[in-house]
Amino acid sequence: MDMNDIITKINNIKKGMAALEKELEQITVEGSDSQGIITAISDGKGVIKDYRFNPGQISSIKKDNLIQAVVEATNNTLKKARELEVSKKKEIVGDINIPDIPGLF
C-alpha cells in the first residue's frame, strides 16, 4: 500500500466517521432494569432522551428501589449505545489497527 492509498483510506474513514456521527444521533437505543420497571431511551451517542415506566409496577415501588431501577436502566442503555458505536466504527475502519488519536477522525 503506497502513501496515496493510505491517504485515500484515511479520507474515506473520516467521511464514514462523520456520517456515522449523524447516524448515531438518529438511532434509538433502549435499556431496562432487571425487573422491567423502567426503560431508558437514548440515541446512539448515549444521550438520554426519555424514560418509560411500567405503570403496573411503578405505583407500588419504594423510593430506593425506584432510584436503583433508574440507574440500572440508564447504565444498560448507555452500555448498549457505546457497544453500538464501537461496532459501527469497526464496520467503517475494518481490520486496520488505528490508534485512538483524538482529532484523527
- Per residue of the chain (105 residues), give pLDDT as tens: 678 888 888 899 999 999 999 999 999 999 999 999 999 999 999 999 999 999 888 888 898 999 999 999 999 999 999 999 999 998 988 866 666 656 665
- Residue 71 included in any domain: yes
- d(CA 82, CA 77) in angstroms, rounded, equals 9
pTM above 0.75, yes or no: yes
Residue 46 belongs to what domain range?
3-93
Residue 103 lies in a domain: no
What local confidence, expressed as pLDDT, does residue 84 receive?
Answer: 96
The Cβ-side half-sphere exposure at 22, using a 13 Å CA radius, reads 5
Residue 61, pLDDT score:
87
Question: How many domains is the chain built from?
Answer: 1
The reply to whether 105 falls in a domain is no
**Secondary structure class of 27 (helix, strand, coil):** coil
Helix, strand, or coil (residue 80): helix
* Widest Cα–Cα separation across the chain: 66
